[in-house]
Amino acid sequence: MENALIIDKLYKAFGRDILKMDTDSDILTVMVSHPVIHEVIRFLKENEEMNFTFLTDLCGIHHPDRGLPLGVVYHLHNLTENIRIRIKTFVTVADPTVLTITNLFSAANWMERETYDFYGIIFQGHPNLKRILNVEYMDFFPMRKEYPLEDPTREDKDDRFFGR
């Protein structure tokens, strides 16, 4: 199956909700608007021509300098033709809600919990969305780039040794 066929089918099914396609890298990357992410993944899984029946990975990303800074990246695999696809969707920090895909892939359960735990992305409809690796009373999301990289009050560090 060629990337052109996948792109054509996605554009025919979702039109304006396909925001961007990238065929320059080793894997086809499709950016979609967040309200349709569940339907796009359902289409890729259940359409007999697409047949992306394996969820390889699901993770969060944070790009604070963008208009929609929080994102979810899905990696799907068509096992019969050995083709992979990357699907991305982005949301705001004020409303970090994405529909769950646990009803499509049971493996998404813990992946979505981990993404919530580290990035604060809420997966609407998730059966048990709570922290999975961090303590439940933690009041921040540690993978967000919201804090300075270094403690400006440190006195024990001499920048001369670090080429600054």
Percent of the chain with pLDDT over 70: 95
- Strand order across the beta sheet in which 28-32 lies: 18-22, 28-32, 83-91, 70-78, 54-62
Q: Tally the domains of the chain.
A: 1
Res 154: pLDDT: 74
Whether residue 158 lies inside any domain: the answer is no
Give me 76's structure tokens.
């799907």
CATH number of the domain enclosing 73: 3.30.460.80
Mean pLDDT value across residues 23-48 = 95
Question: What is the domain extent for residue 62?
Answer: 3-145
Whether residue 161 lies inside any domain: the answer is no
Whether residue 157 lies inside any domain: the answer is no
Mean pLDDT value across residues 21-50 = 95
Res 155: pLDDT: 75
Beta bridge partners of 73: 59, 88
Whether residue 98 lies inside any domain: the answer is yes
Whether residue 138 lies inside any domain: the answer is yes
Asked if pLDDT for residue 164 goes beyond 70, the answer is no
Mean pLDDT value across residues 60-85 = 96
CA 75 to chain CA centroid, Å, is 9
